[in-house]
Homo-oligomer: A and B are copies of this chain.
């Protein structure tokens, strides 16, 4: 291949129909859709790409960041538009493409990640927001959930909130933000950290939902955190409420 350029892409997708970000044989994955589209642009089978966060099956993204190398002959607009053309009709789009600075890596250069988790706690299931929210058919106590979230903010061993299959070397993370608020008729949980453990956001949300339902006291969240045992915390919230909203880097690489 001729000289190549490393591109940073800002990506949005509806995770509902995908087996997650990561390529897995012939399963429909976001990575496969993007890699095949990049391949079509360049006349090859596929072009490898790497994401800032490997979202699980059913998880959505409004601000995923991906890197891939392309031959040095496309403008940023052409990269964005051509990939979007070739990704049709899949619900995956490139919002922005920008040349990456030297040494930049989509995953390892990230200094922050923000997730949103949407809960609908009305009686009727979601029709318009179907597949976009976790529906819990009884009213939750948002103030209690937000208070319980205070327990989790900070630097902790999050063993109780990581998937048992989590491959991270250390279970210690610094949770910079975990806010719970009612927005319209939904509840939104916003989580920010440099990085998260596998299933960490969904496990924290599943636990906060127990508090919101009045089944757990706030103190029980502290006990669960200190137990350092996945079985001590609440269930894993379903993927359809989770959105990767933003990945942060030093400087202003992408401004979607």
Contact = CB atoms under 8 A, between A and B. Distances in A.
Contacts of A246: none
Contact of A91 (B13, B84, B130): B130
Contact of A12 (B14, B88, B127): B127
A178 interface: no
A210 to B, nearest CB: 23
A159 to B, nearest CB: 33
Contact of A127 (B13, B122, B125, B130): B13
Contacts of A127: 12-14, 91-93
A180 interface: no
A123 interface: yes
Contacts of A13: 127-128
A144 interface: no
A91 B123 CA distance: 15
Contacts of A92: 127
A95 B132 CA distance: 18
Contacts of A94: 124
Given A12-B124, A14-B128, 12 more contacts: A12-B127, A12-B128, A13-B128, A14-B127, A88-B125, A93-B124, A93-B125, A93-B126, A93-B127, A95-B122, A95-B123, A95-B124
4 closest A-B pairs (Cβ-Cβ)? A93-B124, A91-B127, A12-B127, A93-B127
